[in-house]
Structure 1
Amino acid sequence: MSKVEFWSDQGCSTRVELREGQSLLEGLLSAGQKIPNSCRAGLCHACLMRATSDSVIPSAAQLGLSKLQCQQHMLLACQCFPQQALSVSLPEHDDDWLGTVSGLRKYNDQVLELSLKVDGHWQAGQHVLLWRDEVHARPYSIASRCDADKQIVLHIKRHRQGLVSDWCHDQLAIGDTVGLSKPEGHCCYPRDDGSAELILVATGTGLAPLYGVLLEAFAQGHEGNISLYIGETNVKSFYLIEELLELADSHSNLSVHLVLSESGVAVPSKWPLLVGELASLVVEKHPRLRGVKVFLCGNPRMVEELTKRCFFAGARRGDILSDAFVSAVQTPQVED
């Protein structure tokens, strides 16, 4: 067993013994500590903690963190399986942002557009943690450019028993103030090559960061061809289609493709519909991807599958940018 000492914000310490194979997060939650968490896959960073300088941090607990975060002895509790004694605390959130709700728009029964007025800088396609309270948070990708309006736009999908998503859909009102982490992530428009071909592939609200990338690309005068593929299993799940088709009408280098896995579904005649398996269709239409920049956002299985297939089709690893959307683990502490 590994022994952990947890220091609360009040300066009180609690000692916890971790069972074999039990993560730091699981051990602290089992001991009754309120530790923010969500995906438990090392992606959302809601469970970020700080260790003392003399603690030995497992390398896997710092995968995905910045160099500065590692230097500050930060770790991801859900990925931390210590072999030695560890002393940890929750980090201070003095650098977090406050956002004022400035817009609420329902795209459909499942997806809400949440607009927040903030004072800070971000890049379209990055993600933030949206805090409901001191414990419950959920990561959402940014679908808007950082311009003079300073409006961060998030696409909030309602999840069954989702504490954060239900709160956004049912309780937030114009003028409310919410907490946000500082933006992170690299799924952003590459400003170094305005002539490169871009392929954007999304499922669900994976469209959010890619919509932001599109807006940034056109604002920067991108000249290369851009192909956007949106995959859904239900035609009612598509959203933002009119706006996307208007973008395609005004930018000749943009093509939009809506992909359904089954045929025989009635859709508006002007919708550019494809029927088939999303990953296969993308690779079939783009068999040679050397020099192409690929963005993959949404279902983790789709992201993993297309990452492999795009690499074997010639795309360099550095040219494949991805953001896998993992649902929160359903527990009494966090549900979303």
Structure 2
Amino acid sequence: MSHPGVARDQKPPVEFTKDRNGISQVILHNPRGASARVSLHGGQILSWKTDHGEELLFTSSKAIFKPPTPVRGGIPICFPQFGNHGTLEQHGFARNKIWVIDENPPPLPPSNSNGKAYIDLLLKPSEHDLKIWPHTFEFRLRVGLSADGYLTLTSRIRNINCKPFSFSIAYHTYFSITDISEVRVEGLETLDYLDNLCQRERFTEQGDAITFESEVDRVYLSSSDVAIFDHERKRTFIIRKEGLPDVVVWNPWEKKSKAMADFGDEEYKQMLCVDGAAIEKPITLKPGEEWTGRLELSYLPSS
């Protein structure tokens, strides 16, 4: 029997499934037909599709979907560090762990609940994690898909330690683009950035927009909204963020692509990473304190 007001072919807002390795996944659907797929492996978004079924995120054809290897593409969460420092693995361990569905999520603000499909995930440290990063935390992640097809990721990280700790974080978003040579990024003009290709030396952005003709690996500091213009596909992505002052811009280009086992040699042409992040000034939480960061991704047709 069909429910009144629900079209027969309309999918439920939240659907539970498993991948070929038996890892649980959650698919969010909105009434217009847009969708987002979230894996409990890493709490990682693997797919975000328009209401016409067009994929907005890039995933490598050579990506490995077996924990503890992180998946190359989608939106991996880099926590408690971004980059490669000390004894922690590159980009931290959150993207390699199996998360759980959060049974006691915080309530949604009334303004956010309208027509939104969402799922709440939770990560707590294992005994192994505590050996390499001795801090007890709760990381709550809410992934939401709005009636307009916008994707939101809200992170709440609470210190349940008896001493303070610091972390950095990035939503390492792989956007699907037509051709890296035809893309420009706006919203980072005049900002300072740390260049990872020059030992994190600090420079100031001189261009009106960022365009790409070689490898780029930068952390732009204290940015507001950012736009990615994909001229060939006539699409613009908008990145809005709260609690995430920095923006990572990354494309590995030809040489580095060939050196990555889980990335196709030519795939750098079809992807661009632009991340909402907090990197330059790590976030410090006192015992009992909680930090919230929010990323909203949207898209619109551009002329």
Asked whether the two chains share a fold, i.e. TM above 0.5, the reply is no
Structure number with the higher helix fraction is: 1
Write 1 or 2 for the structure with the bigger share of strand: 2
TM-score, normalised via structure 2 length: 0.25
Relative contact order higher in (CA < 8 Å, ≥ 6 apart): 2
